[in-house]
Structures are given as structure tokens and as C-alpha cells.
Amino acid sequence: MSSNPVAVQSMTRAEYQTLVERGCAGPVTAIPDTPGLEGWRAQFPDWRARNWTFTEDERGVLRLAPVNLTRQRNTRAA
């Protein structure tokens, strides 16, 4: 695991709720306390340690990943 911190994925509560309803996200309390969670805390220092989601890696494999919820999606003009 890399020692460089990585930006944690963010999504709106509505996006998260849709994923929860599909079984693709949930609260951290649904995951047994494992070394993986400690690794997330080290790799993603900005993670609020409350929620997770599945993300697709470069080979198309779904993996658990930490996620933070936001009130709304930030849209900035380029």
C-alpha cells in the first residue's frame, strides 16, 4: 500500500442512497473491523470513516472503497 495520501471519493447523499438500495454501498458498521479499514484510514486521511462503496478498478473488478458524503455536488465553470 502506498504511503502517499489519496483523495477519497465523494458523492451526494442521494447518489449514496441509490447505491445502498442496490447493495453497492453502506455504512462502515456493516464491515467487520479488519486491517483493510485501518489501511483506508492511513491511505485516505480525509475519509470520515463512516461509509463505503464498490468502485471498479482498471480491470473492471469491483472493490470496496471508502466514500465521503457531500450535501450537493460542486459544479464549477472551467
User: Which pLDDT score is estimated for 34?
Assistant: 76
Using H for helix, E for strand and C for coil, what is the string for 15-69? HHHHHHHCCCEEEHHHCCCCHHHHHHHHHCCCCCCCEEEEEECCCCCEEEEEEEE
Q: Quick one: pLDDT band at residue 75, thresholds 50, 70, 90?
A: low
Q: By the 8 A CB rule, do 59 and 18 touch? A: no
User: Which pLDDT score is estimated for 69?
Assistant: 95
pLDDT digit string (tens) for 3-46?
A: 556 789 999 999 999 999 999 999 998 888 778 888 898 899 99
The whole-angstrom distance between residue 26's C-alpha and the CA centroid of its chain comes to 9
End-to-end CA distance of the chain: 34
User: Does the structure show a pLDDT above 50 at 78?
Assistant: no
User: Which pLDDT score is estimated for 68?
Assistant: 96
